[in-house]
Amino acid sequence: MNISTDSKKKKIATGWLMVIVCMLVQAIPYCIVGNTQALYMYPVMQAKGFTVQQFSLIFTIGTLVPALIGPFIGGIYGKVNLKMFYLFGGILLGGGFMTFSMADKLWQFYAIAAVVQVGSSIISGIGVPLILNAWFDEASKGKAMGLAYAGGSIGNVFLQQLVVGTISSKGYAHSYFVFGLVALIAIIPIALFMIRMPKNENEIVRGKVEEKQEKTTSSVDISYTLKEAQKNKYFWIMGLGLFFVGIYVSAYAVQYAAYFQGELKLSPSTIATTGSIFALVSLFGNLVGGVLFDKLGIFKTLVVGAIAMLCSGAALLMAGSSPIFAHVHSALKGLAMFVYMMGPAYMVGTFFGKKEYGSILGLINLNFALGFCIGSAIFGVFVEKLGYNTTWIGVLGCVAIAFGLLITAAIGMTKLNKERLAKAENEKIA
């Protein structure tokens, strides 16, 4: 009895240690390249003479390249040494971000952004959910992902202020170099000494619900292969939904700083404050989002996210009348951050299983990335031709479309998998 208890405690301790490690990945290297890049946009544009449309293509190219190889990254993880591949990704991320400090031409910013985001995809976009999905079962992975992704919000609380302060005092080039070096220093010990996969099934952390159901439910695996997933219409509906999620995220996450500073003329301290509000609330949002996924299920959790994002978009449209609405926008946006941070990883694991999880997630993420890329590219075009206000209304429409498609896919996949499970159980009995 004591041996069994000690073994379970060790299993749980190891699994949750991986969550802490993933939190560190999200808090430092990922947060630096994923959450602060928008703060460099206006200073670089002023220093180099780039237009909004030109600089926005940095996000397009930097997202498209890793998205295209995302499915291959998922497949590579099962074939190479985890630690070395993770270290390779960290070097691309940290070293690339440092190189931004030396970029002068527009094409150089484009090339560096592509390299940096490939590294980010390896350690975070594919790496973090792949690791957590391997360590946790259906009854506990939501909490695990919520805690891990909360690391990005924790890091963002400090990094927003630090990056703005460094850019103001030392310039954007110095800031790029310093924070790229910080990311590199952080990822080396994580990759070499902390990250690992479970050795066997006994190390997987199982929630209480799972432990109770193990004795009464079937052990039939209904996981999908990548080819099977591609033949499923709800796979593509989910992908299209995430495409529109990518469009609205590209606008709300990247363009807000230039809009607040260049169009609304808000002070740097106000912009930094609204960024910190986003970071603080997104910490709460990621934590609660994980619990909601586990307790309420995907459908109800998506409804919560939809309400938050629709209200956030409406608040942004009123930000010109008072900075308070800018803060409301950031708060509600932070609350719904779990939709795109852990939503794809959670939904892929729940609906398509573990059989080819990395490859399926990589392809699903490609849809989000394409939306993000196109959103970044066309946002500048629409702003220059129609103005910010009309463009933000269009983005709000994308929010409605995105959640409509995701909720449709969730309902469809839940019904389809019940039928798939019943069929598999009948075939096993026969």
Query: Average of pLDDT values for 239-261?
Result: 86
114 within a domain of the structure (yes/no)? yes
Residue holding tokens 């159901």? 213
What pTM does this model have?
0.75
Tell me the per-residue pLDDT of 124-153, one tens digit each, with 9 for 90 and over.
988 998 899 888 887 788 888 888 888 887
207 vs 177, which has greater pLDDT? 177
CB under 8 Å to 126, separation ≥6 — which residues? Answer: 70, 73, 74, 77, 358, 361, 362, 365
> Comparing C-alpha atoms, which of 276, 244, 265, 280 is closest to residue 394?
244
Tell me the per-residue pLDDT of 77-117, one tens digit each, with 9 for 90 and over.
878 888 999 999 999 999 999 999 999 999 999 999 999 98
Q: How many domains does the structure of the chain reveal?
A: 1
pLDDT of 216 over the 60 cut: no
32 within a domain of the structure (yes/no)? yes
3 state DSSP class of 77: coil
2 within a domain of the structure (yes/no)? no
In sign, the C-alpha dihedral spanning 8, 10, 15, 16 is positive
Q: Which of 80-94, 170-184, 246-260 has the lowest mean pLDDT?
A: 246-260
The 10 Å CB-count burial string (b at 16+, else e) for 388-402 is beebbeebbebbebb
CB contact at 8 A, 250 and 402: no
394 within a domain of the structure (yes/no)? yes
106 within a domain of the structure (yes/no)? yes
pLDDT of 364 over the 50 cut: yes
1 within a domain of the structure (yes/no)? no
What band does 10 get if pLDDT is binned at 50, 70 and 90? low
What is the share, in percent, of the chain residues with pLDDT greater than 90? 39
CB atoms closer than 10 angstroms to residue 159: 24
Q: What is the mean pLDDT of the chain?
A: 85
Tell me the per-residue pLDDT of 20-53, one tens digit each, with 9 for 90 and over.
999 999 999 999 998 888 889 889 998 998 887 7
Range of the domain at 156: 7-200+212-429
pLDDT at 1: 45
pLDDT of 308 over the 90 cut: yes
Query: Average of pLDDT values for 274-281?
Result: 80
Residue holding tokens 């994580």? 190
pLDDT at 425: 78
Q: Which of 82-91, 171-180, 356-365 has the lowest mean pLDDT?
A: 356-365
CB under 8 Å to 275, separation ≥6 — which residues? Answer: 39, 156, 160, 164, 257, 330
Backbone angles phi, psi at 321, to 5 degrees: -85, -25
pLDDT at 215: 44
CB contact at 8 A, 405 and 241: yes
306 within a domain of the structure (yes/no)? yes
206 within a domain of the structure (yes/no)? no
Q: Which two tokens stand for residue 219?
A: 């052990």
Tell me the per-residue pLDDT of 373-426, one tens digit each, with 9 for 90 and over.
788 778 878 888 888 888 889 999 999 999 999 999 999 999 999 988 888 777
CATH number at residue 106: 1.20.1250.20
C-alpha 78/C-alpha 375 separation (Å) is 32
